[in-house]
């Protein structure tokens, strides 16, 4: 029978089929941990007198609560300090490999796994974090789990799971210059809505997806959860294999050949049926930005703030009214006229080396606009080191941007990098919820190219809007 990629990975991991209403029990190949969602799970193990079943398949990093400056000083915020210290104690007690602040491999959990070669095609990957969907870019079945499930995986290396439906997201054609993976996924979410993926594993397919680099594919899969999906996946291909080859945890020698042979069987079979299909024309996409307070409230940069009155669906209309009032925006204002105070380049969506390179290319020869602060936060210390080898930090600093240490940073208000009430950002992260980047902060989700151009002009912009007058 023809099967989809997701079905193949699922079936390869069933330890025990559930009968009737019972869920299947799946084996988990990789368990990622961070400081926010692990403490109660470790407590649970301790109370039950259990050890970790497979510490060798478990890895932890510090990302959410870490400051991105003065990292050699004690963490000032007591809550954050406790989180980080608790993770350190737990990892030492239970024998889990941890990359703490300052370590060469520390970084955002979803940047660290792939860069170490831990994330591989055909795996099941879990983490107590919704953006675990990122790892699906490798053809892994990867999803976020709750804290009680984290404990279950720690104790047994398995997880009871209910079946899912499959949705194909076909993106055909080629992206125009200046249009990126971030624009693709923002357009997908605007099309299917923040609940459109509920109950589904999304598979991104088509010529525009095949043409993406691994890092761009991670950007797409990262935001699957913002469409409500269980996971997002892309079939592994030569691009995937080339990315993994030679990484610290990649198979080598005969194991590599055997792995590639297996990975090559994972793509969805010809004739396999999806429960739903959505199609997007890549050639028609332009830079996309959000105007509202959920990731589905987005439009092409060339559009204007929508008029809620013109929205037929009542729920959507009310949501739009509320969003505009929170965002301090007037219907009809061209999106390009929206002025920002802050630009944030980073996060597990867009904090990898290609994102930094793309933004640096725009910033070279330019300066951040008066009154705008720009934070550049590499997704991991390895990304930071690579960027410094390439001199990108000098480009950012010469442009007046702040060059930071690795972490989640301004993606969410759990560390010192936050917006003040009423401040507005252009942010390469994945969520624009009320207060996400700090209480009262207003977030516009954008690509790294739009982030950089916006920093220069001070209003939401794409690189194509920069004129010779913007050069310094
Ligand atoms: C803190 C963590 C549980 C959360 C998540 O699950 O995604 C965070 O990473 C986020 O992006 O909102
Ligand atoms: S960078 Fe943002 S989205 Fe990613 S794990 Fe951290 S807080 Fe969550």
pLDDT per residue as tens digits for the range 165-208: 999 999 999 999 999 999 999 999 999 999 999 999 999 999 99
356 and 292 within one domain: yes
Looking at 218, 239, 274, which one is the last position of a domain?
274
Inter-CA distances, 446 with 36, 223, 378, Å: 26, 13, 16
305 and 261 within one domain: no
Name the residue of 106, 125, 430 whose CB sits within 8 Å of the most ligand 2 atoms, as the mutation to test its pocket: 430
Name the residue of 37, 125, 129 whose CB sits within 8 Å of the most ligand 2 atoms, as the mutation to test its pocket: 129
The pLDDT of residue 143 is 98
Q: Which residue has its alpha carbon closest to ligand 1 atom 3?
A: 129
Q: How far apart are the first and last CA of the chain?
A: 62
In a domain, 279, yes or no: no
41 and 8 within one domain: yes
Question: Taking the CA of residue 396 as centre, how many other CA atoms within 13 Å lie in the half-sphere pointing to its CB?
Answer: 29
In a domain, 395, yes or no: yes
In a domain, 366, yes or no: yes
220 and 299 within one domain: no
In a domain, 186, yes or no: yes
Read off the pLDDT of each residue in 245-263 and give the average, rounded to a whole number: 98
The pLDDT of residue 471 is 85
- Position 472 pLDDT exceeds 90: no
Q: Which two tokens stand for residue 154?
A: 């720690």
The pLDDT of residue 303 is 98
CA-based angle 82:439:397, to the nearest 5?
Answer: 80
Strand partners, 426: 343, 444
The domain that holds 296 is classified in CATH as 3.30.499.10
The pLDDT of residue 231 is 98
Residue 87 CB partners (closer than 8 Å, separation 6+) = 33, 34, 35, 38, 39, 60, 62, 98
The pLDDT of residue 144 is 98
Looking at 232, 252, 274, which one is the last position of a domain?
274
300 and 264 within one domain: no
223 and 170 within one domain: yes
The pLDDT of residue 397 is 98
Q: Which residue has its alpha carbon closest to ligand 2 atom 2?
A: 411
Which residues lie with the beta carbon below 6 Å from any ligand 2 atom?
A: 63-64, 108, 110, 129, 131, 347-348, 408, 411-412, 429-430
Which residues lie with the beta carbon below 6 Å from any ligand 1 atom?
A: 36-37, 64, 129-131, 144, 412
The answer to whether the beta carbons of residues 5 and 203 sit under 8 Å apart is yes
Give dist(CA 128, CA 31) in Å, integer: 9
Could you say which ligand is closest to the alpha carbon of residue 37? 1
Q: Which two tokens stand for residue 291?
A: 């105007």
232 and 371 within one domain: no
| Binding-site residue ranges for [4Fe-4S] cluster | 348, 408, 411
Q: How many domains does the chain have?
A: 2
Give dist(CA 69, CA 177) in Å, integer: 35
Residue 468: pLDDT band with limits 50, 70, 90: confident
The answer to whether the beta carbons of residues 164 and 196 sit under 8 Å apart is no
Whether ipTM > 0.90 holds is yes
Q: Which two tokens stand for residue 44?
A: 């649970």
Query: Residue 21 has what DSSP assignment?
Result: T
In a domain, 207, yes or no: yes
Residue 470: pLDDT band with limits 50, 70, 90: confident
Domain that holds residue 426: 286-468
In a domain, 27, yes or no: yes
Determine the longest span between alpha carbons in the chain, in angstroms. 68
In a domain, 63, yes or no: yes
377 and 244 within one domain: no
Read off the pLDDT of each residue in 305-309 and give the average, rounded to a whole number: 98
The fraction of the chain above a pLDDT of 70, given in percent, is 100
373 and 233 within one domain: no
Read off the pLDDT of each residue in 395-416 and give the average, rounded to a whole number: 98
Residue 16: pLDDT band with limits 50, 70, 90: very high
Describe the strand order of the beta sheet including 24-27 as a list of residue ranges. Answer: 14-16, 24-27, 158-161
3-state secondary structure 102-166: CCCCCECHHHHHHHCCCCCCCCEEEECCHHHHHHHHHCCEEEECCHHHHHHHHHHCEEEECCCEE
Looking at 224, 242, 274, which one is the last position of a domain?
274
Phi and psi at residue 271, to the nearest 5°: 90, -5
345 and 245 within one domain: no
Residue 324: pLDDT band with limits 50, 70, 90: very high
Instruction: Tell how far the Cα of 111 is from the centroid of ligand 1, in angstroms.
Output: 14
- Position 19 pLDDT exceeds 90: no
174 and 85 within one domain: yes
290 and 249 within one domain: no
The pLDDT of residue 21 is 84
Give dist(CA 412, CA 423) in Å, integer: 14
In a domain, 280, yes or no: no
Read off the pLDDT of each residue in 341-356 and give the average, rounded to a whole number: 98
| Binding-site residue ranges | 348, 408, 411
Average pLDDT, the chain: 97
Inter-CA distances, 326 with 46, 246, 406, 414, 428, Å: 44, 48, 30, 21, 20
Residue 88 CB partners (closer than 8 Å, separation 6+) = 98, 100
The pLDDT of residue 316 is 94
The pLDDT of residue 76 is 96
């Amino acid at each position: 029978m023809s099967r989809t990629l997701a079905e193949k990975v699922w079936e390869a991991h069933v330890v025990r089929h559930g009968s009737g209403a019972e869920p299947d029990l799946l084996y988990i190949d990789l368990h990622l941990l961070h400081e926010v969602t692990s403490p109660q799970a470790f407590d649970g193990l301790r109370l039950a007198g259990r050890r970790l079943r497979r510490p060798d398949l478990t890895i932890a990093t510090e990302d959410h609560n870490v400051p991105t400056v003065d990292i050699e000083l004690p963490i000032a915020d007591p809550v954050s300090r406790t989180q980080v210290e608790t993770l350190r104690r737990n990892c030492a007690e239970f024998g889990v490999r941890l990359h703490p602040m300052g370590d060469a491999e520390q970084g955002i959990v979803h940047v660290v796994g792939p860069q170490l070669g831990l994330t591989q095609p055909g795996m099941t990957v879990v983490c107590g974090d919704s953006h675990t969907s990122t790892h699906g870019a490798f053809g892994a079945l990867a999803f976020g789990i709750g804290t009680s499930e984290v404990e279950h995986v720690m104790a047994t290396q398995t997880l009871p799971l209910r079946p899912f439906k499959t949705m194909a997201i076909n993106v055909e054609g080629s992206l125009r210059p200046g249009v990126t993976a971030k624009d693709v996924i923002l357009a997908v979410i605007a099309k299917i809505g923040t609940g459109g993926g509920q109950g589904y594993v999304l598979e991104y397919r088509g010529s525009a997806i095949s043409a993406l680099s691994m890092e761009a594919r991670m950007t797409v899969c990262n935001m699957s959860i913002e469409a409500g999906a269980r996971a997002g996946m892309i079939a592994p291909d030569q691009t995937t294999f080339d990315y993994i080859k030679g990484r610290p945890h990649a198979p080598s020698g005969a194991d590599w050949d055997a792995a590639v042979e297996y990975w090559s069987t994972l793509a969805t079979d010809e004739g396999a049926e999806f429960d739903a299909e959505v199609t997007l024309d890549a050639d028609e996409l332009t830079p996309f930005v959000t105007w509202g307070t959920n990731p589905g409230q987005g439009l092409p940069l060339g559009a204007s703030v929508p008029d809620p009155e013109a929205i037929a669906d009542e729920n959507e209309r009310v949501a739009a009214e509320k969003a505009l009032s929170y965002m301090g925006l007037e219907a009809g204002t061209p999106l390009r006229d929206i002025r920002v105070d802050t630009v944030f380049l980073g996060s597990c969506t867009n904090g990898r080396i290609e994102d930094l390179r793309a933004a640096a290319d725009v910033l070279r020869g330019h300066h951040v606009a008066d009154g705008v602060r720009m934070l550049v936060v590499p997704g991991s210390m390895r990304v930071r080191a690579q960027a410094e080898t390439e001199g990108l930090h000098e480009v950012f600093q010469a442009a007046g941007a702040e060059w930071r240490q690795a972490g989640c940073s301004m993606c969410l208000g759990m560390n010192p990098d936050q917006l003040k009430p009423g401040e507005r950002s252009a942010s390469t992260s994945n969520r624009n919820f009320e207060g996400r980047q700090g209480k009262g902060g207003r977030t516009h989700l954008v690509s790294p190219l739009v982030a950089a151009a916006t920093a220069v002009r001070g209003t939401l912009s794409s690189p194509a809007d920069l004129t010779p007058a913007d050069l310094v």
